[in-house]
Amino acid sequence: MSPSAPSPLRPWLYRVLIYGAFISATFTIAGSEASIILLMAVAVSDPALWRWIRAGAPPAPLPYGGRNPPAWIGGALLALVGIALVSACANPGTLGTLDAMRYHYRVFLPFVLLLALPHAGLRRVFGTFAGFVALFSVYGAIQYRFGVDWLRPEGYKIIRPYQFGGGVFHAVGNFTHHITYGGVMLQAALFLLALGTARDSGGLRLRALWAAGGALAALGTVLSLARSAWLGTAVGMLILVLLRLPRRWSAALGALAVLGLAGYAALVVSGSWLQERFLREDSPALVQRLIRTSPQSDVDRVRMWQAGLLAVRERPWLGAGMGRAGEVLPPYRQVIVERTGYRYMLEAGEGLHNIYLQVAFDTGLLGLAAYLAVWGAVFVWSGQALAALRPGASAARHPDAGLWRALLQGAVAALAGSMAAGLFENNAYDKEVQGVILLLMGLALYAGLRVRALRA
């Protein structure tokens, strides 16, 4: 190799770490953290990054050379980080808040992936991801039926039986909670099903692998018994179907789906109607989980939201600072206790179990607006790229157009599903779930840039 030739080490590192990030996302936060940190370290040492910064545009070797991601995507992310920093400085306990914020270093991962993804064969990466998703979905199914926890030593096993009996357990995979497992699996299911059910995303065998991984991930989501993940999967599947249907059908189906969800929500809010008519002692756990859902059955979560709303009303603009729920929430919870007589089951430090209310509590309404702007920017960007891939467009004739279309549809469906699940959990604060969210955002950003390059 001549002295002027580029070293093959960095592309190899990018490739290995991309595989590591996708594989570890299915079962280990330690592996995910290591992969993401090393990806960032390799990116910072990459001359391409500094050439990009100096020139204001990607260097020519990148497949989207000369085309930057739009400023409004990076601007939304920087606004979120900036508001969180201002909130930290405006509230007591600044050092503790900054310490809590450091765990969210991953928010910059989507932009790091712009340098790393060109060095990985995405179809093979997604196939490997599907294989590991399938493996831990099968493991979750075994856990659900037999309550095993083979990957943890004695004394550290955390598998939990379903609280109302039935002889089954919450599937958790190798994670510490069934909500985390459900939050990861719902995104994997929607993303892989989008890839596997697209006719032109890859070869038949590869699409079969993706579809099988997605179907098994959907099974894992169901067996987690995490209702928020069920809701997210339903919303994501609806979004995916609507993206693929002709407009004349999508509007009607969307209206029917909204009416169905609204009807179920009305029955849930009404109280015990479902339980009185459909709940039996021998009802399967999956049926029980749906029927027992109501404000009367999930009082702790409702009371957490009430306390959170009180806190947000007193600190509306910049919130209380991240990581301070255990310190700040107790007085507001006490108000709810005095009003209702209810005693909380979970500690104040567990948060509010609604990501939007949690972000507003932490960083105020300004922070919530920036948080929603980040998600909105990814959706708008993905929608623009999908519009450029419509039948008859020049970009749609490229051999990889089918992959980009399926990838974008899957990312949009999975992210929308995760947003829906966030109504009932702090999923974007959950490290494992957050890692998958950011991988999908990075893939959507990268695919959009590749589509723009195809149009040139």
- Cα separation, 173 vs 216, in Å, equals 13
Please, are residues 343 and 337 in contact by the beta-carbon 8 Å criterion? Answer: yes
In tens digits, what is the pLDDT along the chain, a chain of 456 residues?
A: 444 445 689 999 999 999 999 999 999 999 999 999 999 999 999 999 999 999 889 998 899 988 899 999 999 999 999 999 999 999 999 999 999 999 899 999 999 999 999 999 999 999 999 999 999 999 999 999 999 999 999 889 999 999 887 899 999 999 999 999 999 999 999 999 999 999 999 999 999 999 999 999 999 999 999 999 999 999 999 999 999 988 777 777 778 887 887 887 777 777 677 777 777 877 888 988 888 887 777 899 999 999 999 999 999 999 999 999 999 999 999 999 999 999 999 999 999 999 999 999 999 999 999 999 999 999 999 999 999 999 889 888 999 999 999 999 999 999 999 999 999 999 999 999 999 999 999 999 999 999 999 876
Residues recorded for the chain: 456
- Cα separation, 63 vs 52, in Å, equals 13
- 166: nearest Cα among 292, 265, 49: 292
The reported pLDDT for the residue numbered 6 is: 56
212: three-class secondary structure by DSSP: helix
Report domain extents, the chain. 9-244+354-455, 299-348
Name 409's Cβ contacts closer than 8 Å, sequence gap at least 6: 194, 198, 240, 243, 244, 386
H-state helical runs in 173-324: 178-196, 204-223, 227-244, 247-269, 273-278, 285-291, 299-314
- Cα separation, 355 vs 221, in Å, equals 19
393: three-class secondary structure by DSSP: coil
The CA–CA distances, whole Å, from 120 to 13, 15, 58, 115, 284 equal: 10, 5, 18, 10, 44
The reported pLDDT for the residue numbered 165 is: 77
- Cα separation, 86 vs 167, in Å, equals 50
The answer to whether the pTM exceeds 0.85 is yes
Please, are residues 359 and 425 in contact by the beta-carbon 8 Å criterion? Answer: no
Name the β-bridge partners of 169.
161
What would the two tokens of residue 165 be?
A: 């009996």
What would the two tokens of residue 63 be?
A: 């497949």
- 78: nearest Cα among 331, 377, 383, 296: 377
The reported pLDDT for the residue numbered 271 is: 65
Please, are residues 203 and 156 in contact by the beta-carbon 8 Å criterion? Answer: no
Amino acid identity for residue 378 in this structure: V
